[in-house]
Amino acid sequence: MNFLTAAHSDIGIRKRTNQDALSIQVASTEGGKAVLCVICDGMGGLVKGEVASATLITAFSKWFTKIFPLLIRKGLNNTKLRDSWDALIQVQNRKIMNYGDELHIRLGTTLSAILIYANQYYVVNVGDSRVYEIADGINQITKDHTLVQREVDMGIMTVKEASQSNKQSILVNCIGVSDLVTPDFFTGPVVKGTTYLLCTDGFRHIISQEEIYEKCNPRAIQNEQQMETNLIYLTELNKHRQESDNISSVLISIY
């Protein structure tokens, strides 16, 4: 299994600071190539959201270089990976909260990460950044931890009402804000000819899934330069339509 990767992050048209953060790491292991992609959105209007997002990126980067090889040697499985990521998130949640307490501020971040290894993907999610799987169609792997999504699940609000609600940005689960953080975990097989998209909410608020599919489906990708060009195109489309948030995305193509 081989893959191509690309990423793009933009401060957008209104923010003074880019509170998004992302990383792509690739390694050759005894089980073949592995890639870890992480994207975080520092919490909207909260102070120093860029510190929170960078903290998570750094923690996952260290995990990939130090802990992941040990898990491979011991026999990687869903439970071990989930426990390892959950422990990392709980530690970083407390670290960010303590930092905020010291400065008497509130800060937080979302988290979406995907590990692709041995023909399997592993995804962890907290908040409303997303991971999509794109092949013949576009499938949202993650579920938003937002007030509107919770109300959709409870039957209080329709999907259309949620998409038009001014409460879309209200999170019910994020990192660095409260003692309780409950990550979602997902896993599934990886098939050649599939792409995976990670994005912050600023990337997908205004553009449609059809527009995302047009530029991120496997047939629209020839090389990493094309992947980056397509992400930039979608970012600029968002800005043209007056998206007010930071805009970040990561694309992985399996071949």
Instruction: Tell me whether residue 151 is in a domain.
Output: no
Domain extent, residue 200, equals 3-143+172-254
Q: What is the 8-class DSSP label of residue 67?
A: I
Amino acid at 185: F
Alpha helix (H) ranges present in 49-119? 49-62, 68-74, 78-103
Tell me the C-alpha to C-alpha distance, in Å, between residue 92 and each of 125, 143, 197, 245: 14, 22, 24, 24
For residue 162, is it within any domain?
Answer: no
Instruction: Give the model confidence (pLDDT) of 86-136 as tens digits.
Output: 999 999 999 999 999 998 888 999 999 999 999 999 999 999 999 999 999
Q: What is the pLDDT of residue 165?
A: 82
Residue 150 resides in a domain: no
> What's the predicted TM-score (pTM) here?
0.95
In a domain, residue 38? The reply is yes
Does 167 reside within a domain?
Answer: no
* CATH number where 136 lies: 3.60.40.10
When divided into structural domains, the chain yields a total of 1
Tell me the pLDDT band of 161, cut-offs 50, 70 and 90: confident
In a domain, 164, yes or no: no
Residue 189 lies inside a defined structural domain of this protein: yes
Q: What does the block give as tokens for 195?
A: 């792409």
Confidence (pLDDT) at 31: 87
